[in-house]
């Protein structure tokens, strides 16, 4: 059975004439699904088209140690079995 992994994906997206950097923690089964999830998040929250999002494959990192995760919700999913979801700030 496949286990869910945590990925940190960094990149940038183009908004008007600016390039805006981003970094997202996502949980996915593999690297391809993690990239797809980042496209979904940026598209829904920031209304960015997929062709305006640039992700370098070198900037995709699988997180093995949960202490490196800064997002409290993703960290809760990665570490706890009996889950109570914390609120984001």
pLDDT in tens, 10-30: 999 998 889 999 999 999 999
E strand or H helix at 72, and its extent? helix 72-79
Domain boundaries defined on the chain: 5-79
For residue 76, give every residue at least 6 positions away whose Cβ sits within 8 Å of its Cβ, in sequence order, or none: 83, 84, 85, 86
When pLDDT is cut at 50, 70 and 90, the band that residue 89 belongs to is low
CB-side neighbour CA atoms (13 Å) of 67: 0
What's the pTM?
0.83
CATH of domain 5-79: 3.10.20.10
Name the one residue in this structure whose structure tokens are 């305006």.
52
pLDDT tens profile 33-84: 999 999 999 999 999 999 999 999 999 999 998 889 998 888 888 887 666 6
């Amino acid at each position: 059975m496949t286990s869910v992994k945590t990925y940190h994906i960094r990149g940038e997206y183009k908004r008007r004439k600016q390039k805006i950097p981003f970094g997202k923690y996502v949980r996915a089964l593999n690297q391809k699904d993690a990239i797809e999830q980042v496209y979904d998040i940026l598209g829904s929250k920031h209304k960015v088209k997929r062709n305006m999002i640039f992700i370098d494959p070198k900037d995709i990192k699988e997180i093995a140690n949960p202490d490196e995760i800064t997002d409290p919700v993703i960290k809760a999913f990665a570490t706890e079995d009996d889950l109570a979801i914390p609120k984001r700030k």
